[in-house]
Amino acid sequence: MLKVVDETKKAFLTGNETVAWAALAAGADIMFGYPITPQNEVMHYWTRLAPRYGRDFLQTEDEISAGFTVCGAVQAGKKAFTATAGPGNVLMQEPFGMAEAMRLPLFAIIQQRGGPSSGTVVYSQQEVALTTYGGNGEGYRIVYSTATHQEIYDYTIKGFNVAWKYRFPTFLLGDGYQAKMREPLEMYDPEEKGIKLEPTYPLVGLPGKIGEGREPQHLCNIYSLEEELYEVVMKLSADYERIAPDLVEWQEHSCEDADIIILTHGIVSRAADDAVKALRAQGIKAGYFRPITLRPYPSQQLREAIAKSGAKILLIAESSYGQFERLTKQEIYGETIKIEHLYMPGVGIVDYDIINKVKSVL
């Protein structure tokens, strides 16, 4: 099979394009998609490159179909994925829910755009609630919130592996800025870096003759009695809670003696990182904490950061109106630290927005 990345090399890419290259490098077999800004270039690059590496693509009639075709393909044992945004993410909640219930290794890239409704095509962090707990289930999902193109590359490869290993729908949560921004990153072949690609196997269309050494496979996601569903949901929850500790990822620095901890995720964490450095230079003891997995949330780690720092204030900054704050509060219930927030829904946040807010609350 033609190698996608023949030698580890620095390259200059846009975010969407990074997704396409990383998916190829991860051995993805097929992409299903539908046009929606700002993720279109994922499709543009995948359709240009896929034939060269024997991969496949279908533009479906809409996002609902894109989600369900991915469910079908992964049931058949192929590495399938999709990419969408905003209203498309809303439409995909139905197939995402099916993937939760049937433990399907669906992988999806979400480039957040302004909401609600058609909102803007540009940028936001307003799909946090939808991506972590959307649908009519309990949020059996794994959600990585990336901030840099290197992370987009790394977590696209990791996303496929995690989805197939732990068998829960997995999401790379980016945004319109990351989608279109250009920056350098290191492209690599996973195996060169010692990253083993998780094997795939079908749930239907198994090899062998039915009745001779193999039984027919009957998959379902509907039950007759409440008690039956109760058993299924309790098992799903137990399985998810058992693997959560292995999946949780976060970053933190300067919390040891922080008076105020700045809590951000995704691209806003880059601004928070700059803000903390600038504040420290001005003698203000600011700390930096950034969940990389929004689901499962690093709640224990955040509690520890709060405890060891003795900080008096936790400042949450997000390009939405409280979705990240609500997610955080439910995870650190009982903490008595004062919580301040900086909401800038659908708008980029830069370091001095955070610096000014810190000064106004301290």
Partner 1 sequence: MALVRIALAGEGGQGVQSVAEILAEAAYNENKQAIYIPNFGLEQRGGVSIAFIQVSDSRIGAPKFNKADVVIAMSERAVGRTASYSDSNTLFVYDDGFDVDPADLPKEAKQIMGLPAINTANNELHPRVFNIIIMGAVIGLTNVVTFETAKEALEHKLGYKFEKNPDLRELNFKALEIGKQLAENALKEGVAK
Partner 2 sequence: MLRTQFNSARVVEAYVGEYASGKSEMAINRALELKSQGRQVTLVDLDTVEPFYTLRPLKELLEQKGLTVIGFSRPEAFGLGETGAMLTPAARWALRREGDIIFDVGYGVYGARTLNLVEEADTSTELRVIAVLNYSRPMTGSKARIIEYIKELGRVDALVANTHLGDETTLEVIEEGTRIIIECAGELGIPVDYIAIDKKFAGEWNLELFAIPVKWITRYMPAAMW
Partner 3 sequence: MITPAIPKSWYLPSKPHKFCPGCGHGIVLKALGEVIDELEIQDQTIFGCDIGCSLLSWNFFACDSTQTHHGRTTPVMVGIKRARPELITIGYMGDGGGYSIGSQHLLNSAVRNEKVTLILVNNTNYGMTGGQMAPTTLPGQKTETTPYGRDPEKTGYPTKGPEFIAELTPEGAYVARATVSKYKQLKRFLKNALRNQMEGNGFSFVEVLSTCPTNWRTNAQQTWHFLEDEMEPVFPVGELKSPFGKGGDK
Q: Which is nearer to partner 2, 17 or 318 (CB)?
A: 17
State which residue, 224 or 360, has the beta carbon closest to partner 1.
Answer: 224
Count of other CB atoms within 10 angstroms of residue 300: 13
The reply to whether 153 sits near partner 2 by the rule CB under 8 A is: no
CB of 37 to partner 2, least distance (A): 6
Got the DSSP string for 131-199? HHH-SSS----EEEE--SHHHHHHHHHHHHHHHHHH-S-EEEEEEHHHHH-EEEEEE--GGGGT-PPPP
In whole angstroms, what is the distance from residue 186 CA to residue 20 CA? 14
Contact flags string 45-74 toward partner 2, x per CB under 8 A? ---x--------------------------
Told to check if 2 binds partner 1 by CB under 8 A, we report no
Site for partner 2 in 91-150 (CB under 8 A): 114, 118-122
Cβ(23)–Cβ(186) below 8 Å? no
Establish how many alpha carbons lie within 13 A of residue 59's alpha carbon, considering only the half-sphere containing its beta carbon. 9
Residue 125 beta carbon to partner 2: minimum distance, rounded to whole angstroms = 17
Burial of 149 (0-12, 13-18, 19+ CB in 10 A): buried
Closer Cβ to partner 3, 59 or 217, answer by number: 59
Q: Does position 37 bind partner 2 by CB under 8 A?
A: yes
**Shortest Cβ 317–partner 2 spacing (Å):** 19
Residue 14 lies near partner 2 (rule: CB under 8 A): yes
How big is the site for partner 2, counted in residues (CB under 8 A)? 28
Answer yes or no: are the C-beta atoms of 310 and 303 closer than 8 Å.
Answer: no
Taking CB under 8 A as the binding criterion, the range among 60-68, 99-107, 218-226, 338-346 that sits at the site for partner 1 is 218-226
Mark 92-106 as b/e (b = at least 16 C-beta within 10 Å).
Answer: bbbbbbbbbbbebbb
Residue 238 touches partner 1, criterion: CB under 8 A:
no
Helix (H) / strand (E) element for 89: namely helix 86-91
Q: Quick one: 37 or 251, whose CB is closer to partner 3?
A: 37
| β partners of residue 316 | 263, 341
Which residues are near partner 3 by CB under 8 A? 33-37, 40, 43-44, 47-48, 51, 57-59, 61-63, 87, 117-118
Nearest CA to 94 out of 31, 124, 138, 136 is that of 136
- In the complex, the residues that contact partner 1 under the rule CB under 8 A are 222-225
- In the complex, the residues that contact partner 2 under the rule CB under 8 A are 9-14, 17, 21, 37-38, 40-41, 44, 48, 114, 118-122, 176-177, 180-184, 187
